[in-house]
Amino acid sequence: MPLLDVKNIETYYGPIMAIKGVSLVVEEGQIVTILGANGAGKTTVLKTISGVMEPEKGSVKFMDRQIDHVEPDKIVKMGISHVPEGREVFHDLTVRENLMMGSYLRNDKDGILRDVEICYDYFPILKTRSKQLGGSMSGGEQQMLAIARALMARPKLLLLDEPSLGIAPFLVKEIYEIIKKINKEQNTTILLVEQNAPMALAVSHIGYVLELGRIVLNDTCAELMENEDVKEFYLGISDQSIRGTKRWKRKKKWR
């Protein structure tokens, strides 16, 4: 039984279908990535899983329980934490207060305090900035804070939306190293969506490629990194002069 089982979901923004029959599986302990260009529907997939949006068709099962029409706060209680695109920290709260907000559904005081220290171990900058307002931190520091706040809920499944977006390259590498550590040391299953394909494929076990709201390819990340289509469109390994023709042919083939 997979930890997360998404089957044929269709989700709309008003009359516009954003994702079209998307299916994916996430096994416990894995890091799974969804790759795709801006506007492909990656964020909509995560919002549908976390309950922020409801699918018109299809189903989302978490730990064999159907959750596609469950309120987001109840989904958090079940063990799913969502770090949205753009970080969205509480700007007027301190770093420590932001972390404590992540534990608002818990009542184990000692465990909460231990987890604050665990977050500080993963993100030492947060400890040195514990009294600083979240809104005054850099983009990379806010991303670290957003991930740490999500961890405070002790999720079984962590959803990460574009963790590299708008962040300096040296911090992107650091954040992805920490993501690997969280997965390995906490056994936290992670589903992430990314445009930074090289970084995402390097840390993930399974990858899905999303184009125009549809899954067009999925495989192990080791295989995807050797796939000619992925190399050309996402890893930048190809003759630039023939991309246009190849892209049309391959998109047709994928579908």
How confident is the model over 181-217, as pLDDT tens digits?
Answer: 999 999 999 999 998 899 999 999 999 999 999 999 9
Number of domains, the chain: 1
Mean pLDDT to the nearest integer, 100-109: 93
In a domain, 250, yes or no: no
Mutual angle of helices 109-122 and 169-186, in 10-degree steps? 140
231 within a domain of the structure (yes/no): no
Task: Indicate whether this model's pTM tops 0.85.
Answer: yes
- Phi, psi at 193, each rounded to 5°: -115, 140
Amino acid at 11: T
* Residue 59: C-alpha distances to residues 50, 113, 156, 235, 252 (Å): 12, 36, 19, 32, 27
Is residue 165 domain-resident? yes
**pLDDT above 90: residue 235:** no
The span from the CA of 188 to the CA of 56, in Å, is 29
Residue 180 included in any domain: yes
Which residue range(s) make up the domain with 167? 4-224
What's the CATH code of the domain at 85? 3.40.50.300
CB 29 within 8 A of CB 189: yes
Which residues fall within 8 angstroms of residue 95, CB to CB, at 6 or more apart? 126, 129, 130, 131, 132, 134, 137, 145
Asked if residue 38 has pLDDT above 90, the reply is: no
Residue 243 lies in a domain: no
For residue 244, tell me if it sits in a domain: no
Helix (H) or strand (E) holding 116: helix 109-122
Helix (H, G, I), strand (E, B) or coil at 141: helix
Q: Which residue has the higher pLDDT, 239 or 186?
A: 186
pLDDT recorded at residue 66: 97
Q: Work out the angle at residue 33's Cα, subtended by the Cα atoms of residues 30 and 38, and round it to the nearest 5 degrees.
A: 165
Q: Is 36 helix (H, G, I), strand (E, B) or coil?
A: coil
Decide if 66 is inside a domain. yes
Q: Which residue has the tokens 């096994």?
A: 27
Task: Answer yes or no: is 137 within a domain.
Answer: yes
Contact 179, 102 (CB under 8 A): no
The HSE-up count of residue 109 (CA atoms within 13 Å, CB side) is 0
